[in-house]
């Protein structure tokens, strides 16, 4: 595994001269941030040795290198989900490669269902903690000591400093943001009303099918993380209606501008 990570990073470095400081994982409908990147190199996933290839509708797979908010970044356009059949290790693989490319921070976005009754469709939520409801963990198996410890600390999975800065950016731009706990579970089904109730009872404010594996892999390697979610539907009793992938993408597209602005301005502050 370590050899694969290193050889993939070496391949990328042979193609790209830019040294990224920040890694970004772009989630559902959040292509807007890409338009803000001053792009220097693009590598399709299928050209990258050992990289899984994205299969899900609405996610194209490319690694984008460029400059955003004065920082050199590498952005994953298209991420790997556990529900596609990848192992947790495969889902986490690109984050590990990005570490070897030199990233010092990881920014992640996603779409989720709100289970906090105070939330509305279209809200942005800064993720301040998570609950791993996947049946697995990317760190299961022999520990790779060169990446991090056997038992990594998760007391600050999401950087308090980055959260505080993002809140300042949001306030300065009159953007309303919620803050809360993201529960990650496998999907691909959306939740039943009973499952939404269960997720809320665990202490979560929103639920989605990504992010948790990547954050775990990043924290294993001590990378400070920042993540934001677009609340695309509600799993709140009395407000539950049928939800489709299209609905999720449409709501995400509406909130895209606000999310993009926060991410870009935050980039300038670090
Ligand atoms: N549940 C799980 N994942 C999601 C949801 C949801 O309601 N909305 C967007 N992603």
CA 63 to chain centre: 14
The residue-averaged pLDDT of 159-178 equals: 98
Question: Which residues form the pocket of ligand 1, taking CB atoms under 6 Å from any ligand atom?
Answer: 111-113, 187, 190-191, 207-209, 232-233, 235, 243, 248
Position 172 scores a pLDDT of 97
pLDDT digits (tens, 9 = 90+) for 114-137: 999 999 999 999 999 999 999 999
Closest C-alpha to ligand 1, atom 2: 208
Position 254 scores a pLDDT of 84
Evaluate if residue 31 carries a pLDDT over 80: no
Pick from 209, 210, 229 the residue to mutate for probing ligand 1's pocket: most ligand atoms within 8 Å of its CB. 209
Q: Is 5 helix (H, G, I), strand (E, B) or coil?
A: helix
pLDDT digits (tens, 9 = 90+) for 244-258: 999 988 888 889 999
Tell me the CA distances in angstroms from 172 to 168, 177, 179, 265, 266, one per residue in order.
6, 12, 17, 10, 12
Contact between 92 and 216 under an 8 Å Cβ cutoff? The reply is yes
Q: Distance, CA 218 to ligand 1 centroid (Å)?
A: 23
Position 240 scores a pLDDT of 85
Position 163 scores a pLDDT of 98
Sign of the torsion formed by the C-alpha atoms of 202, 245, 255 and 119:
negative
| Domain of residue 48, CATH code | 3.40.50.1580
Q: How many domains are contained in the chain?
A: 1
Evaluate if residue 262 carries a pLDDT over 90: yes
Give DSSP secondary structure letters for 14-69: HH-----SEEEEE-TT-THHHHHSEEEEEEEGGGSTT-----STT---EEEEEEET
The residue-averaged pLDDT of 210-224 equals: 98
Determine the structural domain holding residue 150 and report its residue range: 2-269
The residue-averaged pLDDT of 153-175 equals: 98
Position 58 scores a pLDDT of 47
* The overall pTM is greater than 0.75: yes
Closest C-alpha to ligand 1, atom 6: 113
φ and ψ of 189, to 5 deg? -70, 145
The residue-averaged pLDDT of 48-61 equals: 72
């Amino acid at each position: 595994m370590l050899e694969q990570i290193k050889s993939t990073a070496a391949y990328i470095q042979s193609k790209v001269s830019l040294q990224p400081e920040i890694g970004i994982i772009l989630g559902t409908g959040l292509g807007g941030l890409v338009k803000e990147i001053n792009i220097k190199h693009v590598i399709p996933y299928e050209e990258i040795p050992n990289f899984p290839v994205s299969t899900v509708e609405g996610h194209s797979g490319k690694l984008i290198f460029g400059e955003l908010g004065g920082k050199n970044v590498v952005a994953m356009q298209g991420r790997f989900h556990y529900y596609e059949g990848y192992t947790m290790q495969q889902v986490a693989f690109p984050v590990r490669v990005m570490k070897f490319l030199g990233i010092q921070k990881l920014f992640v976005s996603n779409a989720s269902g709100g289970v906090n009754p105070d939330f509305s469709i279209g809200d942005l939520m800064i993720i301040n903690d998570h609950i791993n409801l996947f049946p697995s963990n990317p760190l299961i198996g022999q520990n790779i000591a060169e990446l991090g410890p056997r038992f990594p600390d998760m007391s600050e999975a999401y950087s308090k400093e980055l959260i505080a800065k993002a809140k300042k950016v949001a306030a300065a731009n009159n953007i309303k943001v919620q803050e809360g706990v993201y529960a990650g579970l496998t999907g691909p089904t959306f939740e039943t009303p009973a499952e939404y109730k269960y997720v809320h009872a665990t202490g979560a404010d929103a639920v989605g099918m990504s992010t948790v594996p990547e954050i775990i892999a990043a924290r294993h390697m001590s990378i400070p993380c920042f993540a934001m979610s677009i609340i695309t539907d509600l799993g709140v009793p009395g407000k539950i209606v049928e939800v489709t992938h299209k609905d999720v993408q449409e709501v995400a597209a509406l909130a895209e501008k606000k999310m993009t602005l926060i991410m870009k301005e935050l980039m300038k502050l670090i």
